[in-house]
Amino acid sequence: MPADNPDRRLRRTLIALLADIVAVIVFCTIGRRSHAEGLTLSGIAQTAWPFLAGTGVGWLLIGGWRRPFTVIPTGLVVWVCTVVVGMLLRKATSAGVQTSFVVVASLATAVLLLGWRGAAVAIFRRA
């Protein structure tokens, strides 16, 4: 199948977007679990929405659909936007943005959002 096949490009883009969404939800779920906040769907959604909004901003800003699997620049921009916009929205809604949380959130989302891309690139190269 040619690399520029529209169906293939759409499928790859949707897979990458879904992987980012899952990564953010995993981060928020682990965070809620580690702080004994309960793992309800509404609780996870409440924690995740600012970061998911940031992920969306990152995708739009970088045009994530063009090169959805690249660590740099796509993954890097999506990660930074996820953290920055997520924290700004949390601050605006009076949610916690303590320095320790910003550091942990930055590191954890970097591992998740950049990590799956790095793994995908390694797998693509081997194939």
Q: How far apart are CA 123 and CA 92, in angstroms?
A: 40
User: What's the confidence (pLDDT) of residue 1?
Assistant: 37
The chain-wide mean pLDDT, for the chain, equals 93
In this predicted model, what pLDDT tens digit does every residue of 28-72 receive, in sequence order? 999 988 877 778 999 999 999 999 999 999 999 999 999 999 999
Residues 55, 20 contacting (CB under 8 angstroms)? yes
Instruction: Pick the closest to residue 121 from 25, 6, 16, 10 (CA basis).
Output: 16
Over residues 91-117, mean pLDDT: 96
The pTM of this model reads 0.92
**Is residue 122 in some structural domain?**
yes
77 within domain boundaries: yes
Q: Which residue has the tokens 């906040």?
A: 37
Q: Does residue 10 lie within any of the structural domains?
A: yes
pLDDT at site 37: 77
- What pLDDT shows up at residue 3? 57
Q: Report how many domains make up the chain.
A: 1
* pLDDT exceeds cutoff 60 at 87: yes
Asked, for residue 45, whether it belongs to a domain, the answer is yes
Task: For residue 85, give its domain range.
Answer: 6-126
The reply to whether 1 falls in a domain is no
